[in-house]
Amino acid sequence: MKKLLIKGAWGLLRTFLFPVLVYAIILLVTVMMDRSGYATPGAFDRIIRSSVLSTIIAYAIALPLSGARWDFAPGIIIILSGIIGSNLAIDLNAGPLTLLFITAGIAVVLSLLEGVLYLAIRVPTIIVSLGVVMVYEALSGVVYGGSGTQLYMHPELTVFARSPWIYMVLAVIMVLFYFLLGRTKFGFDTRSLAANPRLAVNMGVKEKKNIMITYLTVGVLLGVAAVINASTVLVSPANNLSSTSLMFSSMGPVLVGLYLARFSNIPLGIFAGALGMNALSYGMVILGIDSSMQTVNLGVFIVAFMGYTSNQEKIRAFFKRFGARTEA
């Protein structure tokens, strides 16, 4: 028991070492450049709060990805369900809980429609999701006259984007996501389908059922993300695949998090990845780096991180041989 506790603690330490190191390095740079604001309680709150939304979206991306399915639709589902759900809640004078259920329900319907379309035509999910994105983006410009939503103008409906509720929502989602992937037949079936679909089906895995449960779960996650997103920013209709930026903004936490997950588990790994990436993003804001260069720097960082983690054994072997030659 004691060994298990020590192993678990060591795994948690290694998982969250990444965001701690990122924050420490950026803090050192800001101090050296005489930039203030990165070590304040407001900075901590902003980093952690923005990490909540990134983490939930990352879960919605990682779930189908764990079944070897790429999906570009999360961004537009967040936007479209946020617009419809928020406006319905405002028109009905509903409370925040009703808003959450309405928005999540709409997101589930939108996600399930994508799943049904994929099963019906059986082309790669990348192609299906791009088609769905274009259709849903067109719808976002039609519903409610293309006015979008300004949910943040109704503070009584934005409680799930404020402390402590936003952290309670994340905690519940993390626990449920952990049990769904690691402790249920669905999770094991998903991983077996990703490893060898034909063998998994021959062994009795019901692929269609697994796919529909995946889209159902993704819909719930995106509905929660839609409420948090609409509670903090102006949600405008999307066009020309602009909604994919929401999805790509959470790809960093997914890629980094899936590596960190080997030290603990996927939910914690992705959360640690989101904390690190948001600490880096906010640090660049404090340093006055413009948005285009922020995107470039984030891209370079992700490529460098993935390049190192994918080839770390080769890199270690190279330095070992280099050290041996130097000593000789």
Question: Quick one: pLDDT band at residue 68, thresholds 50, 70, 90?
Answer: confident
pLDDT of residue 309: 74
Cα(9)–Cα(5) distance, integer angstroms = 6
Residue 58 tokens, joined: 């990352």
Same domain (yes/no): 188, 242: yes
Same domain (yes/no): 132, 147: yes
- Domain stops at, among 199, 216, 246: 246
Is residue 46 included in any domain, yes or no?
no
296 vs 98: which has the higher pLDDT: 98
pLDDT of residue 311: 75
Same domain (yes/no): 200, 295: no
Tens of pLDDT along 243-283?
Answer: 988 888 888 899 899 889 888 889 999 999 999 999 999 99
Which residue shows structure tokens 């070492």? 17
pLDDT of residue 104: 97
Same domain (yes/no): 137, 285: no
Question: Quick one: pLDDT band at residue 323, thresholds 50, 70, 90?
Answer: low
Same domain (yes/no): 202, 269: no
SS3 149: strand
pLDDT of residue 103: 97
Cα(117)–Cα(73) distance, integer angstroms = 13
Tens of pLDDT along 189-218?
Answer: 888 887 777 888 888 888 889 999 999 999
Same domain (yes/no): 96, 165: yes
pLDDT of residue 324: 62
Is residue 35 included in any domain, yes or no?
no
**Structural domain of 284:** 250-305
**Confidence check: pLDDT of 284 > 60:** yes
Question: Quick one: pLDDT band at residue 327, thresholds 50, 70, 90?
Answer: low
pLDDT of residue 1: 66
Burial class (CB in 10 A: 0-12, 13-18, 19+), 145: exposed
- Domain stops at, among 246, 276, 296: 246
pLDDT of residue 4: 65
Mean pLDDT of 71-93: 94
Question: Quick one: pLDDT band at residue 37, thresholds 50, 70, 90?
Answer: confident
150 vs 220: which has the higher pLDDT: 220
Which residue shows structure tokens 């290694």? 14
pLDDT of residue 296: 84
SS3 235: strand
Phi–psi pair at 71, nearest 5 degrees = -135, 125
Which DSSP string corresponds to 16-78? Answer: HHHHHHHHHHHHHHHHHTT--SSSSHHHHHHHHHHHHHHHHHHHHHHHHHTTT-----HHHHH
Same domain (yes/no): 259, 236: no
Is residue 48 included in any domain, yes or no?
no
Is residue 34 included in any domain, yes or no?
no
**Confidence check: pLDDT of 52 > 90:** yes
Cα(44)–Cα(48) distance, integer angstroms = 6
Contact 207, 200 (CB under 8 A): yes
Same domain (yes/no): 213, 300: no
Same domain (yes/no): 139, 229: yes
Question: Quick one: pLDDT band at residue 292, thresholds 50, 70, 90?
Answer: confident
Cα(144)–Cα(86) distance, integer angstroms = 11
As for how many domains the chain has, the answer is 2
Tens of pLDDT along 84-134?
Answer: 999 999 999 999 999 999 999 999 999 999 999 999 988 888 899 999 999
Is residue 311 included in any domain, yes or no?
no
**Confidence check: pLDDT of 288 > 60:** yes
Same domain (yes/no): 276, 204: no
Same domain (yes/no): 77, 219: yes
- Quote the pTM value: 0.91
- Domain stops at, among 201, 222, 246: 246
Question: Quick one: pLDDT band at residue 303, thresholds 50, 70, 90?
Answer: confident
Same domain (yes/no): 118, 218: yes
Dihedral sign computed on CA atoms, order 38, 249, 292, 231: negative
pLDDT of residue 12: 85
**Confidence check: pLDDT of 328 > 60:** no
Is residue 11 included in any domain, yes or no?
no
pLDDT of residue 181: 86
